[in-house]
Amino acid sequence: MKKWIRILSTAIMALSLAFGAGAESPATPGPAEAGLSVDAGNALTAGELAAEAERLKAMALAASPINDPAGEDARYEDGILHLYEFGALYCDRAEMTAETEIQAFSASAGDALQPRGKGIDSRFDEITALYPNGNPALAGTREAALLYLDEGEAGSFRYGMILRDGQRIQQIVYGAVEKEGEQFRMARLTYSLQGGIVSGIQATGLGAAGLADSSLRNELYQEVRNLTGETGYTRVPSSEVGTDLTPFGPEDLRFGEFQLDGATPESMPGQPEIFGPEEWEGDASVIRVVGEEYEAVFRCEADGSRPRLWTFDITGEDLEGPRAVRLGDALFEDMNRFRHGENETDGVTELLYGENGKAPFGLANYAGDDGMSLTYATTLSDGREITMTLRYEGATLKGLYMIAEEGNTNP
């Protein structure tokens, strides 16, 4: 997968180099798998991007660049930069004329660049609704998921996919690889996102620089197609409405390699260090388990017998907890993964669902002494109540802490 990310990040950029016609035959296309059968009639085409480039060139001919395209600092791998208020054009020459060929273009602000009517500040779901999507659950790996793969003739193919860091979508990529003579045009449209919102748009693979030989086409095709068999990681359901989601429940205590309901020190994942039993307060003893990016404490008898989970903390930024909640998340992202919306807020606290203090319930505190927080409670199989608290600073998740009540467990 790391290889795929490297290819997708650099392959089109490398197309500005001269590629000779390859003697190698294209890999034989095969059918898409994993439920990706979809009507791809509105998939991205290279012609669509070429038409957008012509529209931007007309705007450029009526304006003046805000940089010096003749300067050395205007030379990029994609071409010579012509920078305008409406965006950046990478061209085959320093002069902007009717004959100038745009090889790539991009924008990170404004509304001049809106492929299919949506651009900067659009939401993830608004963009994916414009193109085919045979994978609404975003089943794939933690790094990527395929949205569609449409096989064409003579080795041509069109595809859509996402690149992500867990639940954090970083890019939506739509590509069109089309046969042109003895070579392949490898056009690509990329939406970059931050917090689920489009922050940049880039098109590459246009003009003569967008042509590649069959070897690069084959490598890209195989890496894309390999994602059709990946289903181990999916998108967590999210809703701004909230009442269509379920409360925090015992099933959420199973996440990744963790099963906290009924856990023992020895069952905790990875190769954690186990300390104890240690004396605590009074006759209580505890066993501490320190793993990679987490720490758990179990209450137990003095000899270490009958351990039962007491507290659990996420300490690292990569570990995903219940419903993939993760340090660094925005408050609205986490809230939208659990049930909410049952009650009005007074601006300070909001009962998201249930009855405060009686599991199951959810509570938001927007003005606590320790910052904003979300609190959810459910019941363990031994009858104890366990509460998960998410603590935020500046609306960014800084801590995830769970604690189970000390009451007697069921026999």
Average of pLDDT values for 147-159?
A: 96
Q: In what order do the strands lie in the sheet with 294-300?
A: 273-279, 285-291, 294-300, 308-314, 396-404, 385-393, 372-379, 358-365, 349-355
Structure tokens at 79: 């071409």
Q: Residue 11 — φ and ψ, nearest 5°?
A: -60, -50
Q: How far is CA 201 from CA 40, 88, 173, 227, 257, in A?
A: 22, 10, 10, 23, 36
- pLDDT reading at 253 higher than 70: yes
272-320 residue pLDDT tens: 999 989 998 777 899 999 999 999 999 999 999 999 999 999 999 999 9
Q: Residue 310 — φ and ψ, nearest 5°?
A: -115, -55
Residue 92, C-beta contacts closer than 8 angstroms, at least 6 positions apart: 79, 80, 100, 101, 103, 207, 208, 209
Beta bridge partners of 355: 358
Q: How far is CA 395 from CA 25, 43, 371, in A?
A: 53, 37, 9
In this predicted structure, which of 29-38, 143-152, 239-248 has the lowest mean pLDDT?
A: 29-38
* pLDDT confidence of residue 370: 74
Give the mean pLDDT of the chain. 90
* pLDDT confidence of residue 410: 44
- pLDDT reading at 330 higher than 80: yes
Average of pLDDT values for 339-368?
A: 92
Report the sign of the C-alpha dihedral through residues 47, 134, 170, 334, in that order.
positive
Which residue has 């492929």 as its token pair? Answer: 115
* pLDDT confidence of residue 344: 86
Residue 154's CB: how many other CB atoms inside 10 A?
Answer: 10
Average of pLDDT values for 202-226?
A: 96
Q: Does residue 39 or residue 42 have the better pLDDT?
A: 42
| pTM for the whole structure | 0.86
- pLDDT reading at 162 higher than 50: yes
Q: What percentage of the chain carries pLDDT values higher than 90?
A: 84
Average of pLDDT values for 252-269?
A: 97
Helix (H, G, I), strand (E, B) or coil at 13: helix
For the chain, the distance separating the N- and C-terminal CA atoms, rounded to the nearest angstrom, is: 47
- pLDDT reading at 165 higher than 50: yes
Average of pLDDT values for 378-398?
A: 96
Binned at pLDDT 50, 70 and 90, residue 35 comes out as very low
To the nearest 10 degrees (0 to 180), the angle between helices 2-10 and 214-226 is 130
- pLDDT reading at 407 higher than 60: yes
- pLDDT reading at 375 higher than 80: yes
Beta bridge partners of 259: 254
Binned at pLDDT 50, 70 and 90, residue 37 comes out as low
